[in-house]
Amino acid sequence: MGQRTLSGLAKAFKRDRATFQQAIDPQEAFRLGTSLGQQGDVEGARSAYQQAIDSGHAEHAPAAGFHLGLLLGQHDDIDGAREAYRQAANSAHPEYGPTAARNLGHLYKRQGRGRQAIAAYQVAIDSGHPDVAPWAMLYLGNLFRHLGNLADARASYQSAVDSGHQKAGPRAARHLADLP
């Protein structure tokens, strides 16, 4: 879909959201959410992304949840971002599910909700995603270190090292070496 067509969709959406939402498919809703978000229309983007999420489409619902989480997080709607990430993390999508779980862990950590952050990072780790899981291991180690749980921090860092990930592994090794 061209930029010109997306611009037309955005204008039509703004004129008559209710009618437009009934006629748009999940892929178009996702694309529209992205376009509206880039134009700074956060509420329009939220509505379009939510339509894609509500569709339950295996590809576009998790993508919309992840991107809505990013958008809302950038606009300090932490509760909205958390819910959008949660929906994407609970999907079976091989990319958006683990990545949303990792981002959900970050949100929980920023809010001082350690137990929930640990659980979210663990979902990302358990996914076995070749890139997201090692980073989640590193972030989990950082969280455990912050919480004063050095034994679990050590185990998480070691898991990241053992993953062989080219970037997360060496960083985890440095953190591991810095532990008392």
pLDDT > 70: percent of the chain: 87
**Could you tell me which of 124, 93, 129 has the C-alpha nearest to residue 107?**
124
Q: pLDDT band for position 24 (50/70/90)?
A: confident
User: Does residue 83 surpass a pLDDT of 80?
Assistant: yes
- Token pair, residue 52, equals 């894609």
Listed range (17-21, 28-32, 158-162, 167-171) with the worst mean pLDDT:
17-21
* Model confidence band, residue 7 (pLDDT cutoffs 50, 70, 90): low
Q: Whose structure tokens read 């960083």?
A: 171
C-alpha torsion sign, points 27, 70, 145, 177: positive
Q: What is the pLDDT of residue 173?
A: 98
DSSP 110-156: HTT-HHHHHHHHHHHHHTT-TTHHHHHHHHHHHHHHHTT-HHHHHHH
pLDDT in tens, 95-150: 999 999 999 999 999 999 999 999 999 999 999 999 999 999 999 999 999 999 99
Check whether 8 has a pLDDT greater than 90: no
